[in-house]
Amino acid sequence: MTNPDKQKPVEVTDVETAAEKTSEPTPASGTSTITQRWKREDLIKKASPITRGICLLFSLLAFLIMVSNKHGYGRNFNEYEEYRYVLAISIISTLYTAWQTFAHFSKREFFDRRTSTLVDFSGDQIVAYLLISAASSAIPLTNRFREGQDNIFTDSAASAISMAIFAFVALALSALFSGYKLSTHSFI
């Protein structure tokens, strides 16, 4: 028999060596895929309320810092639309994450499981986008004020904006966890 590709014949030892290198761990020698999935789901169950709690903290800080940002004529947060928007969204974010954290720790079911998973995912997405929208609308105004002079008003505004950004990051992580829960949930 001729070899049209002029390749050397494959030896049995080459096949055995390749099989040893690519072999998957068996349940007896390593952790099984079931226990890995259980660990992953347990981690997500613990991480989701933690990220919402962190978002609650940062949203509350953004709210408190922005409300206390009153330093005389021309230096009150309520004279500028962008800062009022940051305040309004931080209030919404604080209320939403407080409700979600309360619902998780009270173990009460306000909706059926399918609706609750969908509300978690969509609520996390909506509030996260509102937070980053509010922060991005107030950044140019704060930068314009800082060009003229740097004072306690601009420092307070910048710190409230950064708290809103941190709240966005925490809620974006929570949205990822909610999305994973939604994708693994059976809707049958």
Residue-by-residue pLDDT tens, the chain, 188 positions: 555 566 665 555 554 555 455 545 554 445 688 888 777 777 777 788 889 999 999 999 999 998 988 777 767 777 888 889 999 999 999 999 999 888 888 877 777 777 888 888 899 999 999 999 999 999 998 888 888 776 788 888 899 999 999 999 999 999 998 888 888 877 64
Which ranges constitute the DSSP H helices of the chain? 12-21, 33-67, 81-106, 113-148, 152-184
* Whole-number Å distance between alpha carbons of 56 and 58: 6
151-179 residue pLDDT tens: 788 888 899 999 999 999 999 999 998 88
Given a contact cutoff of 8 angstroms between Cβ atoms, the answer to whether 63 and 131 are in contact is no
In this predicted structure, what is the pLDDT of residue 149? Answer: 75
* Whole-number Å distance between alpha carbons of 49 and 109: 15
Given a contact cutoff of 8 angstroms between Cβ atoms, the answer to whether 178 and 117 are in contact is yes
Which residue, chain included where needed, has tokens 């226990």? 35
* Whole-number Å distance between alpha carbons of 67 and 61: 10
Given a contact cutoff of 8 angstroms between Cβ atoms, the answer to whether 182 and 80 are in contact is no
* Whole-number Å distance between alpha carbons of 148 and 150: 7
